[in-house]
């Protein structure tokens, strides 16, 4: 059965006039890549080189920030999409070798002809955004204060291939619960930073931006914003950052909530063998290791090499991420069941327009093998397991790892991108869990 | 038309002429001119992949100085053919020696190599008397492109694993009328050649490998220096050096999108391996000229085979360094900068009829490409006993 996306666009049998493309490329200087709100600068002074992003230099002040992607960048993206060169069709009938060609072409065609970046851009600019310098690096973040004075500040950290856009639908319900089925005492002040090398944060130019360093920077950020009692939340690499914050216990951090707790069976294996409840997550880990971790392996070892193809090819960047929406969200085969095509393309466009394929992949090089590990924690920890995630550890591992596990819930719907897939359930989890630490 | 056109193959052996459309060459240049690069790596070396400055220099050279037509003319100076085997069109070079008693040799490349690796050794092998050898050292040379590589067809169904390729190669040699022949390979070519050694098709007199899959299925506790060195090198390959392998063996299609659409993506994906696996002092250009590397890279680009070549990893994801015991005559040359250097002790346990063993002074994983003279000498010495 064709999905909605394919029905709407059809797979284009696009007859490309190369000559026309070449002429156009020569006339416009090939590419007009963007700066994100920022100053387009030509890196090498050559008209046919794509200008690189120049983000405004961040200072220790908290400086307001707006996103504006130059039209030339959006035009260039569409031109590149129109002239995409495709590989041959996969010799399988499913996603087992990656994104199927028909799905890839449909997504690219929708991106080129239907998708509207300005929609998400104005949505972002409707939120208070800032940049500030932390540990030498300019960090971008969304900061929305609740009108309720006693609101609990929460810092939400995205992962890869996510972004701040994962949280767009949960901001309003969190800051303004009374307008969204909650009570005033469930209100949050919300802080959503972009990880170093992601989105509108700076790209580190030196090695060492590992999860513990990011955790430390987040604590500085919260202090700079004047918060002396707050909580932290994250999944994926954001769970890594949040767990490291809990480990570091900066003053003011009261508790954390994880929607992908980094929980592996505590060594050594129990004498009687693993329980039935442990068998499924063990199988998930084995499957991940044998079949589903190629992306992590290449990002963890040669992010720069991978970065060339993804920085130059929007379809390359799109499929690198689209595959994960399919594999990790709660769907029966088509990621659009879990996340709208527009939402997927918002996230993909953010990576493309900020040219952050390589810089985001480098977080795997820095940290995936070293810091993304099971870590016993003494700080209060809350966990929501969204059952559609690719890894759903059992409560017993949480109890063995977190000495103050004060909340554990298994949510039947939603997957790895919980806030994006099931914003209402995600909000409910944060309200319920953090009610216990207010 | 951004890639080469390939005519349909039949069971006949049909001459094939390589001609990349000018439009495809122009398209490549336009793409290279419009390249968007990532930001610079935060390290000073190749540890995170191809450094930005090297990538930029390679792209600039490819766009402004590199001449595909030179390489195309060189390829067309050999007799090229295509024929249908097991429903797949297979491209190959077939250069016969003027010496009637020449020994037919089937040379199989790997990834990210191609027939380009063997171009410099074809004439010395077929015509030794003009290249420092003797008439009795002559070979008839057959150099096929693997399924999904170069000018061979791209499989549209799964199942093209090493043993199926070996079986196709055996049919090819039969179709060419060879009744007694030898086979040679490195990388996946060594995998195919080892599979031929297990298949033992009639006529196969022996094989030569420049990468030997001789690891015991269980590694002993006490190892010799050479064995320990091999274990350490294999571990490093399976750890830090394994990202491309795990990606290609699990999601070849996904990585294929970027590499099919972006020439800098395709180039650096391969260039990194020329850095990692050749005998160099820190720069791949120490081992191979920029033109040589771009010949090979351009061949991948113009045939749009990033995804289809990566699928050989998916098809053989369970391949291991324990290639199994072989009983036919096996010759081996170990090159010093190979991914790991096989210890002779393990080779003797694996190959019951090890007719030749040598450790070369120079060269790495792309032995014929890097050190054609040494490689030719190795073929002559290794196969002397089987003539």
Look at A50 and B255 and tell me if their CB atoms are within 8 Å: no
Q: Which residues of B touch A295 (CB under 8 A)?
A: 247, 251
The rounded distance, in Å, linking the Cα atoms of B193 and B206 is: 10
The mean pLDDT value for B255-273 works out to 98
Chain A contact set for B20 (CB, 8 A): none
Contact flag B254-A88 (C-beta cutoff 8 Å): no
CATH number of A1-10+97-438, picked from 3.40.50.1820, 3.80.10.10, 3.50.50.60, 3.40.50.300: 3.40.50.1820
What percent of chain B has a predicted confidence (pLDDT) above 90?
Answer: 98
pLDDT by residue (tens digit) across B277-327? 999 999 999 999 999 999 999 999 999 999 999 999 999 998 999 999 999
pLDDT given for residue A43 in this prediction: 34
**What is the DSSP secondary structure assignment for residue B5, as one 8-state letter?**
-
Structure confidence at residue A260 (pLDDT): 97
CB burial readout B333-347, b (16+ within 10 A) else e: bbbebbbbbbbbebb
Distance CA B121, CA A301 (A): 35
Percent of chain A with pLDDT over 90: 84
How many inter-chain contacts (A to B, CB under 8 Å) are there? Answer: 219
CA angle B358, B364, B367 (to 5 degrees): 75
| B267 in any annotated domain | yes
Ramachandran angles phi, psi of A178, nearest 5° = -65, -25
What is the arithmetic mean of pLDDT over B185-198?
98
Residue A265 pLDDT class (50, 70, 90 cuts): confident
pLDDT of residue A94: 97
Q: Could A50 and B36 be called an inter-chain contact, meaning their C-beta atoms sit closer than 8 Å?
A: yes
Nearest chain A residue to B148, by CA: A88
> Does the pLDDT at position A413 exceed 70?
yes
Give residue A10's pLDDT: 36
Q: Which of A97, A300, A312 sits opposite B265 (nearest CB)?
A: A312
Under the banding of pLDDT at 50, 70 and 90, the label for residue B197 is very high
Give the tens place of pLDDT for each residue, A177-233: 999 999 999 999 999 999 999 999 999 999 999 999 999 999 999 999 999 999 999
Cβ–Cβ of B251/A101 closer than 8 Å?
no
CB–CB contact A313 B265 (8 Å): yes
Q: Indicate yes or no: CB of B314 within 8 angstroms of CB of A359.
A: no
In whole angstroms, give the CA distance from residue A437 to residue A435.
Answer: 6
Q: Which of A66, A251, A235, A64 is nearest to A163 (CA)?
A: A235
CB contact under 8 A, B250 and A309: no
Which residues in chain B are closer than 8 Å to A293, comparing Cβ atoms? 246, 250
**Contact residues, chain A, for B269 at CB < 8 Å:** 305, 308-309
Q: What is the pLDDT of residue B2?
A: 79
* Residue B92 β-bridge partners: B81, B144
Strands ordered across the beta sheet of B139-144? B14-15, B80-85, B88-95, B139-144, B103-108, B181-185, B204-209, B330-334, B354-359
For residue B34, the chain A residue with the least C-alpha distance is A30
Region A293-297: what's the mean pLDDT?
A: 98
- Contact list in A for residue B156 (CB cut-off 8 A) is 88-89, 91
- Could you give the C-alpha distances from A137 to A116, A201, A361, in angstroms and in order? 30, 8, 17
Distance from CA of B8 to the nearest CA of A (A): 16
- The catalytic residues of B are 187, 313, 365
Which A-chain residues 62-91 have CB contacts (< 8 A) with chain B? 84-91
A98/B255 touch (CB, cutoff 8 Å), yes or no: yes
Total domains in chain B come to 1
For an interface test with A, which of B20, B243, B244, B274 has the most A Cβ atoms less than 10 Å from its Cβ?
A: B243
Interface of A with B in 226-265 (CB under 8 A): none
Per-residue pLDDT of A367-378, as tens digits, reads: 998 999 999 999
How confident is the model over A318-347, as a mean pLDDT? 98
Mean pLDDT of A379-404: 97
- Calculated CA dihedral for residues A225, A229, A234, A237, nearest 10 degrees: 60
Are the Cβ atoms of A91 and B156 closer than 8 angstroms? yes
What mean pLDDT is reported for chain B? 97
A contact test, residue of B42, B88, B297 with most A CBs within 10 A:
B42
Please enumerate in sequence order all residues whose Cβ is within 8 A of that of B70, keeping only pairs 6 or more positions apart, or say none.
B291
Least CB–CB distance from B30: residue in A21, A299, A302: A21
Best mutation target, A88, A89, A353, A359, to test chain B (most B CBs within 10 A): A88
Mean of the per-residue pLDDT values for chain A? 89
Per-domain residue ranges for chain A?
A: 1-10+97-438
Interface of A with B in 283-322 (CB under 8 A): 291-295, 297-313, 315-320
pLDDT tops 80 at residue A267: no
pLDDT in tens, A336-373: 999 999 999 999 999 999 999 999 999 999 999 899 99
On whether residue B2 sits in a domain, the answer given is no
Portion 331-360 of A in contact with B at CB < 8 A: 355, 357-359
Q: What mean pLDDT do residues A67-91 have? A: 97
Contact B261 A85 (CB under 8 A): yes
Report yes or no on B44 lying in a domain: yes
Q: Å from B49 to nearest chain A CA?
A: 5
pLDDT tens readout for residues B121-133: 999 999 999 999 9
* Measured CA distances, B232 to B187, B225, B240, B317, B386 (Å): 19, 10, 12, 21, 34
Name the DSSP class of B202: T
Does this model's pTM top 0.90? My answer is yes
Chain A residues near residue B26 by CB distance under 8 angstroms:
18-19, 22
> Residue B62 is inside which H or E element, if any?
helix B52-64
For residue A421 the two structure tokens come to: 């897939």
Q: What is the pLDDT of residues B144-154, one digit of tens each?
A: 999 999 999 99
Which of B159, B254, B276, B318 is most worth mutating to test chain A (most A CB atoms within 10 A of its CB)?
Answer: B254
Partner residue opposite B42 with nearest CB, options A90, A204, A317? A204
Kindly report the number of other CB atoms within 10 A of residue A335's CB atom. Answer: 29
Q: Report the residue from A30, A98, A300 with minimal CB separation from B254.
A: A98
Contact (CB<8Å) B49/A304 = yes
Q: Do A97 and B314 touch (CB under 8 A)?
A: yes
Contact A90 B243 (CB under 8 A): no
Q: How far apart are CA B195 and CA B167, in angstroms?
A: 9
Residue B34, pLDDT > 70, answer: yes
Q: Rounded to an integer, what distance in angstroms lies between the CA atom of residue A176 and that of residue A152?
A: 12
Mean pLDDT of B211-221: 95
A426 in contact with chain B, both atoms CB, cutoff 8 A: no
Which pLDDT score, from 0 to 100, does residue A36 have? 38
Q: Computed over its alpha carbons, how large is the radius of gyration of chain B?
A: 20
Which residue from B35, B257, B272 is facing A305, i.e. has the nearest CB? B272
**Residue A51 contacts B, CB cutoff 8 Å:** no
Cβ contact A304–B51 (<8 Å): yes
What CATH code is carried by the domain that includes residue B282? 3.40.50.1820
Cβ–Cβ below 8 Å for A316 and B259:
yes
Residue of chain A nearest B272, judged by CA positions: A305
Between CA B78 and CA B92 the distance in angstroms is 10
The first and second tokens of residue A387, run together, are: 């059952």
Tens digits of per-residue pLDDT, A1-55?
A: 333 333 333 333 232 233 332 333 333 332 222 233 443 333 333 334 454 556 8
Residues of A with Cβ-Cβ distance to B255 under 8 angstroms:
98, 298, 309, 320
Contacts of A96 (CB under 8 A, 6+ apart): none
The closest CB to that of B250, out of A21, A291, A359, belongs to A291
* Residue-level pLDDT at B5: 81
Average pLDDT (B44-73) is 98
ipTM, interface predicted TM-score of the complex: 0.97
Q: Which domain holds residue B73?
A: 14-386
Average pLDDT over residues B46-63: 98
Task: Give the C-alpha separation, A103 to A319, whole Å.
Answer: 9
Contacts of B157 by beta carbon, 8 Å cutoff, 6+ apart? A91
Contacts of A354 in chain B (CB under 8 A): none
Question: What local confidence, expressed as pLDDT, does residue B65 receive?
Answer: 98
Please give the average per-residue pLDDT across A377-381, as a whole number.
98
Instruction: Give the other-Cβ count within 10 Å of A404's Cβ.
Output: 12
What would the DSSP string read from start to end of A323-382? HHHHHHSS-SS-GGGTS-HHHHHHHHHHHHHHT-HHHHHHHIIIIITTTSS---B-S-EE
Upper half-sphere CA count for residue A235 (Cβ side, 13 Å): 29
Answer yes or no: is B6 within a domain.
no
- For A16, name the nearest residue in chain B, comparing CA atoms only: B1
Q: Which residue of B has its CA nearest to A17?
A: B1
A85 neighbors A18 (Cβ within 8 angstroms): no
Could you tell me the CA-to-CA distances from A429 to A51, A124, A201, A384, B91 in Å, in that order?
Answer: 43, 24, 28, 7, 60
């Amino acid at each position: 059965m064709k999905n909605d996306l394919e029905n709407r666009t059809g797979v284009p049998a696009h007859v490309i006039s190369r000559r026309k493309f070449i002429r156009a490329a020569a006339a416009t200087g090939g590419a007009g890549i963007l700066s994100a709100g920022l100053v387009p600068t030509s890196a090498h002074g050559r008209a046919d080189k794509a200008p690189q992003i120049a983000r405004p230099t961040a200072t220790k002040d908290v400086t307001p920030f707006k996103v504006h992607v130059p039209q030339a960048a959006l035009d260039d993206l569409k031109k590149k999409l129109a002239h995409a060169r495709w590989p041959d069709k996969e010799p399988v009938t499913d996603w087992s070798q990656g994104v199927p060609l028909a799905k890839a072409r449909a997504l690219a065609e929708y991106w080129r002809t239907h998708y509207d970046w300005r929609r998400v851009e104005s949505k972002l600019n409707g939120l208070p955004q800032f940049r500030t310098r932390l540990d030498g690096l300019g960090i971008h973040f969304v900061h929305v204060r609740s009108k309720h004075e006693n609101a609990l500040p929460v810092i939400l950290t995205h992962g890869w291939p996510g972004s701040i856009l994962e949280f767009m639908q949960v901001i309003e319900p969190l800051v303004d619960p009374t307008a969204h089925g909650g009570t005033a005492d469930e209100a949050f002040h919300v802080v959503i930073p972009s990880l170093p090398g992601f989105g509108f944060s700076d790209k580190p130019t030196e090695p060492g931006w590992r999860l513990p360093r990011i955790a430390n920077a987040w604590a500085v950020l919260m202090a700079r914003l004047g918060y002396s009692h707050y909580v932290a939340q994250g999944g994926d690499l954001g769970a890594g950052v949040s767990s490291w914050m809990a480990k570091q216990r900066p003053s003011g951090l009261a508790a954390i909530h994880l929607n992908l707790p980094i929980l592996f069976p505590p060594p050594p294996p129990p004498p009687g063998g693993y329980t039935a409840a442990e068998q499924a997550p063990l199988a998930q880990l084995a499957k991940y290791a044998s079949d589903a971790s190629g992306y992590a392996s290449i990002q963890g070892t040669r992010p720069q090499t991978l970065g060339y193809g993804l920085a130059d090819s929007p379809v390359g960047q799109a499929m690198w991420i689209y595959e994960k929406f399919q594999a990790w969200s709660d769907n029966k085969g088509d990621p659009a069941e879990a996340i709208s095509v527009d939402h997927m393309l918002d996230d993909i466009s953010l990576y493309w327009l900020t040219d952050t394929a390589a810089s985001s992949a480098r977080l795997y090089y820095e940290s995936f093998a070293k810091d993304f590990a099971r870590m016993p924690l003494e700080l209060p920890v809350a966990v929501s397991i969204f059952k559609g995630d690719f890894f759903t550890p059992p409560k017993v591992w949480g109890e063995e790892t977190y000495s103050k596990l004060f909340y554990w819930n298994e949510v039947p719907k939603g997957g790895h991108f919980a806030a994006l897939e099931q914003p209402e359930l995600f909000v409910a989890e944060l309200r319920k869990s953090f009610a216990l630490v207010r | 038309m951004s890639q080469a056109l390939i005519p349909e193959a039949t069971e006949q052996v049909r001459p094939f002429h390589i001609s990349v459309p000018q439009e495809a060459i122009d398209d490549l240049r336009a793409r290279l001119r419009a390249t968007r690069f990532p930001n610079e790596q935060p390290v000073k070396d190749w540890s995170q992949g191809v450094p930005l400055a090297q990538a930029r220099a390679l792209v600039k050279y490819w766009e402004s100085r590199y001449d595909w037509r030179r390489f195309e003319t060189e390829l067309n100076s050999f007799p090229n053919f295509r024929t249908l085997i097991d429903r797949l069109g297979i491209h190959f070079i077939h250069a016969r020696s003027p010496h009637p008693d020449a020994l037919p040799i089937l040379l199989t490349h790997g990834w990210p190599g191609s027939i380009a690796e063997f171009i410099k050794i074809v004439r010395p092998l077929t015509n030794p008397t003009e290249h420092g050898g003797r008439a009795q050292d002559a070979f008839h040379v057959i150099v096929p492109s693997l399924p999904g590589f170069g000018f061979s067809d791209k499989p549209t169904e799964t199942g093209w694993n090493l043993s199926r390729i070996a079986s196709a190669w055996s049919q090819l040699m039969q179709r060419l009328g060879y009744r007694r022949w030898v086979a040679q390979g490195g990388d996946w070519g060594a995998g195919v050649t080892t599979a031929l050694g297990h298949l033992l098709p009639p006529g196969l007199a022996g094989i030569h490998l420049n990468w030997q899959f001789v690891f015991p299925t269980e590694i002993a506790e006490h190892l010799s220096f050479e064995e320990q060195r091999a274990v350490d090198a294999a571990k490093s390959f399976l750890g830090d050096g394994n990202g491309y392998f795990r990606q290609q063996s699990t999601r070849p299609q996904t990585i294929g999108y970027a590499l099919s659409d972006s020439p800098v993506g395709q180039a650096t994906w391969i260039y990194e391996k020329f850095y990692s696996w050749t005998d160099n002092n820190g720069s791949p250009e120490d081992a191979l000229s920029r033109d040589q590397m771009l010949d090979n890279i351009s061949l991948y680009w113009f045939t749009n085979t990033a995804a289809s070549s990566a699928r050989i990893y998916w098809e053989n994801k369970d391949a291991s360094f324990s290639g199994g015991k072989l009983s036919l005559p096996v010759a081996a040359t170990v090159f010093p900068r190979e991914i790991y250097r096989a210890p002779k002790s393990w080779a003797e346990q694996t190959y019951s009829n090890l007719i030749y063993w040598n450790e070369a002074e120079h060269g790495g994983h792309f032995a014929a490409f890097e050190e054609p003279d040494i490689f030719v000498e190795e073929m002559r010495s290794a196969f002397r006993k089987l003539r």
